Chains A and B, each alone.
Chain A
Amino acid sequence: MSPGVDGEPAADGAAGTDNIAVADAGLAKGTGAALAKGTVADDGYRPSERRLAHEAYRRGRARRSALIAAASTLATAVALYLLIVNSPGWEVTRRTFFNLDYARQALPEVLKGLRLNLELMLGCGVLIMVFGLLLAVLRTLRGPVFLPVRLLVTAYVDFFLGLPMIICLLVMITGVPALRLTGVTTDPLLLGGAALVLTYSAYVSEVFRSGIESVHPSQRAAARSLGLTNAQAMRYVVLPQAVRRVVPPLLNNLVSLQKDTGLVSIGGAIDAVYAAKIIASRSFNFTPYLLAGLVFIVLTVPLTRFADWLTARMNRRQFQGGAV
């Protein structure tokens, strides 16, 4: 007898529980909350002594874990601070990298440039998702008619997965205008954006493809048995499940796209990085760079946390379907 296991797809292994202490605390909170919120059945049930004792123990453990985490974080921070401040070059470094005056002066410029980064990210992000999905779907087409399509897509993906981002950007920004093609833009911003789309579409198509392949073949068989065509099975059964599973890795790609928009400045578009560079080269002080870096970090942190949260949430629902 064949066991009926296809309901449970292989875990995608994208779990990112990096902090045991936090995970511990979350667990204890979970059981406590169920009691407090009164979501349990209303049948006159009183928690037993044993349950209360277990929960008290878990709460104690959670408190202890939190304390240990806080203490070790503090200790590490102090050690790092002492190490840096006592290093021989600290005074010079502080003046060139941590100058508040320059920071204040650079902030408005950097923020103005940052608008460009955000616009690039949003515009390119949408195009990348569309192209990436399209490439992934094209790659799954079977049948001899589609052989050239499959070959082309495979070659495209292989090429852009291997090509360093910076080279792609340089080629687009300097190479395309040199061709003097009529009707083709020479705007470094658009060309830079195009380079981002070219490269990231390849990454993202691989993510989508792994998602498509993770959907068990029996799902497609069930769809085809109902009379759905291949395309309909893809559209209504395979893709919705595939996309759900790859949301976390897609968000990670978005985070890294956000950073890479800074590279477009090599074409001369005044984004946050270039704005910082202008001020830095005027003043021979590197604080603006540091500031621009911080601004990017502040932007990416919420996105990364969101990706983590989503991943954890999806892992909690062991089953991949449901209302995500």
Chain B
Amino acid sequence: MTAEVLRLESVRKTFGAQVVLRDVDLAVPEHSVTALIGASGSGKSTLMRCVNLLEGIDDGAIFLDGEEITDPRADEDAVRRRIGVVFQSYNLFPHMTVLENVTLAPRRVHGVARAEAEARALELLDRLGLAAKAKEYPDRLSGGQQQRVAIVRALATGPRLLLLDEITAALDPVLVGEVLSVVRDLKEQGMTMVISTHEMGFAREVADRVCFLDDGVVLEQGPPEQVFGDPREERTRRFLSRVMASGRLQG
């Protein structure tokens, strides 16, 4: 049994009267990939925002490397430094070049010297086929390129855990392939990741565990063969058949 990077215990999160996460338990071992699936509005993004402390939780606890990060005494900035996030809508900084986007956190947060940060950034960009774009501004890049830059930006600080929130939702099928192959490589390198996705085929292929979020709880979780091949819960079955009907299981 390898170490546990992330653990959620009975997490509850509400927005006013709306309960988004009711009682969520989740464990993410080191070097594993966990895929969150579930209908739109089931709380996948909210879960990730809670892990990254962009949202406070109402009850329960979240642990990063065994340390409770939802403890009010925890240093939020220090926690965020250990987690990389890629948002569905990229959120690149439009006033900075690709290189500046990538080196901002290493330089300002981790105190890496400029030359060193840039060398490392260029190496990462090169690995994702973006070296030629280092001096461009984000608005001159395609959606897939922007999303890959966002991934590089999240990786540049050497995070312990990577959260990828529907990173392909805004992309056309070709670009989806482009971005997903990057995720595959990361898995190869042993990066611990939590990804939320509507690409069931991809979840099936890349994930070690699949969690089905429904009505604020993790209704079903297990290896992808089991969740996709032989779902235990009726609601999982129904969700998957609906997705199947829209043709997204093949990925």
Report B's interface with A, CB cutoff 8 A. Answer: 40, 45, 52, 54, 77-78, 80-81, 83-85, 87-96, 104-105, 108-110, 137-139, 153-154, 157, 166, 169-170, 198
Contacts and interface: CB of A to CB of B under 8 A. Distances in A.
21 contacts: A1-B40, A1-B169, A3-B170, A4-B90, A218-B91, A219-B91, A222-B91, A222-B92, A225-B83, A226-B105, A226-B157, A227-B78, A228-B77, A228-B109, A240-B95, A241-B94, A241-B95, A244-B95, A319-B94, A322-B94, A322-B137
Given A1-B166, A218-B89, A322-B139, A227 B95 contact: no
| CB-based closest 5 A-B pairs | A321-B94, A4-B89, A227-B81, A222-B91, A226-B105
Interface string A1-38: 11111110000000000000000000000000000000
Nearest to A241: B95
Interface in A222-265: 222-229, 232, 236-237, 240-241, 244
A126 interface: no
A205 interface: no
Contacts of A6: 89, 91
B63 to A, nearest CB: 19
A323 interface: yes
B80 A226 contact: yes
A227 B54 contact: no
B54 A224 contact: yes
Interface residues on A, range: 20 to 34
A4 B89 CA distance: 4
A244 to B, nearest CB: 7
Contacts of B54: 221, 224-225
Nearest to B153: A226
A199 interface: no
Contacts of B40: 1
B85 A225 contact: yes
B193 to A, nearest CB: 15
A236 B108 contact: yes
A4 B157 CA distance: 25
A236 B93 CA distance: 10
B80 to A, nearest CB: 5
Given A221-B91, A225-B54, A227-B80, 6 more contacts: A223-B104, A225-B83, A225-B154, A226-B153, A320-B95, A321-B94
Contacts of B83: 225
Contacts of B169: 1, 4
Nearest to B78: A227
B190 to A, nearest CB: 22
A3 B45 CA distance: 13
